[in-house]
Amino acid sequence: MQGRRLATTDEIIAIVSPDSEEPLETLTDWADERGIDLSTVDVGDDIGDVYDPNRATLGITLGGDGTFLEGIKTFAPRNIPLLGVNTGTLSFLARVEPEDFEDALEETLRGRAAVDSRQQVHVSGPGIDATGINDIMVKQVPPENPIDRKVTRLDVYADDEYVGEFEGTGLAVSTPTGSTGISLSANGPVHYPVNNHTLQIVPLHTHKLGVRPIVVSPETELRIVPQGQASLLVDGGRAHTILSEGDEITVTGADTLAHIVRTSYDDHFFTAITKKLGWDIRDAEVPSEKVRNPASDDQTVTNTDSNEAGDIVERALTLATEAAKAAAGPLRELHGQVESIDVKSDKSDIVTEADHQANRIITTVIGNEFPEHAIFSEEGIRQTNEETDYTWVIDPLDGTGNFAHGNPNYSISIALIEDGDPIIGVVYVPETEELFTAIAGEGAWRDGDPIRTTDRDRLDESMLISGYDPDGSFLSHFYQESRGVRRLGSAALNLCYLASGSADATWEHDTYPWDIAGGLVIARAAGATITDEAGDPFEFSLDTDDRAALLGSNGPLHPALLEHLEDGVTGSNA
């Protein structure tokens, strides 16, 4: 999950532990002032009566780590991000202190926090079907007679391979988040938990010196079979059962990840373990020159309040990239639902919702960081400001027809216009995670690598893409003359594939500004020639009543395209 998406939060659900009255009062006042709905439940209570899956929800826990674990148990299955506020004593997971609560909330709701993806662990077997965020522990059952045998033997398999026999107190299968608990006490390694999707097997009080911790992928199916009675505990006893000899349990990474909100007011992971676990490789306080931004890998916290924040184009490109990735989340989720629905009206509702959610995320993120800029969106949003030279042009879902039929060829297009000229472009493909970006006059990139158009000048060696071609004349006239004409259903992607050399030319009978704004910057910056059907330079306009044809090519191919276009396509359209 991308942190920018949190900017659209309109509902907060708080799980509240005893003795959290003051932070709860702070939260209540803060939510009231901003018109955000707030629901509270006590630890252990169900949120089913207050949770609305159709709203953008933020989960909060007010308490210690026990309350935080309850929050993960409650929020993770619903894909709700969680912000933990420490009102307990020694808290390792909930890392926002009450005095920083309001500032952390403000940062979160402006879309400037990061969201960590945390691996969970799942166990199934006789009498148990449970998920945990920390660990699953299988250990001996204390004998009634203290002189009886106090060890357990466990046979362990990884997929179809026999790992071996673990003899001792038992073993723990921990997540990276849980690596600092039971597994650390058993001399297991500390795992950096941020976006780390692994599991580790750690022997507990082993009777063999050569038995060491083992790290496996979350897809690995671990099978554990006790040779006698054993006790199984999930997250220290939040789920528990007694296993009999020969009972087989299966442990894997859980399908559902936990999403943890991290702000600049949190202690960093290594600061937390330094303070709370005695990590002595460094001091608790880090010199300022060694401090980096707390954002996760897919989120760069962009503070545009400062006049020294950097060049507006660079900042705008970063913001547009983050906004596109944030909007991709709900599109991917809803695209999966479209694929499984047969009723046309239901598909239409989902496509409308996808458009709405993606548009809301993008416009909110941009509005938060550049409130003075104008916004022009396909979804009907026209936020104008005569005092600014900058306008954002947004198509939150380009390729709606493809999306509605479960086809992956759809994209998100964002462009920034300065004085009428597109200067930055971002096109993101949610299903493949391809990212096309460009700055006018500086270059174009795909996933950070520079891209350029081809240099072919012969039609019979070229691959063409057709956009909107109402009577099929472009297809019929050029198909035999080239190596093929393809129609992908997304004008933004057509221009990006031209830019990256996957096609040599593209044609649109007429265009809307939101369809082409982002791709236009990318194609031009990669060396493309863009004209109208007569060969005159293409003039970008925000006037939707003045739509124009667009012919884009690698440049060398353009004369041949114009000649055939004039002979065939424009003639047939006359």
Q: Does residue 207 fall inside a structural domain?
A: yes
Residue that finishes a domain, picked among 417, 449, 481 = 449
Q: Does residue 307 fall inside a structural domain?
A: no
443 marked among binding-site residues: no
CATH number of the domain where residue 237 is located: 2.60.200.30
- Asked whether the predicted pLDDT for residue 381 surpasses 70, the reply is no
66 marked among binding-site residues: yes
The tens digit of pLDDT for each residue in 101-125 reads 999 999 999 999 999 999 999 999 9
Q: Give the total number of structural domains in the chain.
A: 4
150 marked among binding-site residues: yes
The tens digit of pLDDT for each residue in 461-495 reads 888 988 887 777 777 777 777 777 888 889 999 99
3 marked among binding-site residues: no
Tell me, yes or no, whether 82 and 56 share the same domain: yes
Q: Does residue 246 fall inside a structural domain?
A: yes
Tell me, yes or no, whether 318 and 444 share the same domain: yes
Other residues' Cβ atoms within 10 Å of the Cβ of residue 476:
14
Q: Which of 404, 413, 506, 377 is nearest to 453 (CA)?
A: 506
Residue that finishes a domain, picked among 449, 468, 488 = 449
Instruction: State the average pLDDT for the chain.
Output: 88
Gap between the Cα atoms of 512 and 515, Å rounded: 5
Tell me, yes or no, whether 369 and 286 share the same domain: no
Tell me, yes or no, whether 243 and 337 share the same domain: no
Residues catalogued as catalytic = 65
CATH number of the domain where residue 398 is located: 3.30.540.10
The tens digit of pLDDT for each residue in 273-328 reads 887 777 877 776 666 555 554 444 444 444 444 433 338 899 999 999 999 999 99
Residue that finishes a domain, picked among 206, 226, 253 = 253
Q: Does residue 303 fall inside a structural domain?
A: no
290 marked among binding-site residues: no
139 marked among binding-site residues: no
What range defines the domain where residue 320 resides? 312-449
Tell me, yes or no, whether 344 and 473 share the same domain: no
The tens digit of pLDDT for each residue in 188-242 reads 999 999 889 999 999 998 878 888 999 999 999 999 999 999 999 999 888 999 9
Give φ, ψ of 33 to 5 degrees: -65, -30
Tell me, yes or no, whether 203 and 112 share the same domain: no
Tell me, yes or no, whether 319 and 445 share the same domain: yes
Tell me, yes or no, whether 337 and 415 share the same domain: yes
Tell me, yes or no, whether 39 and 148 share the same domain: no
Residue 7 DSSP class: G
533 marked among binding-site residues: no
The DSSP-derived string for 523-573 is HHHTT-EEE-TTSPBP---S-TTS---EEEE-STTHHHHHHHIIIIIHHHH
134 marked among binding-site residues: yes
Q: Does residue 470 fall inside a structural domain?
A: yes
Q: Does residue 302 fall inside a structural domain?
A: no
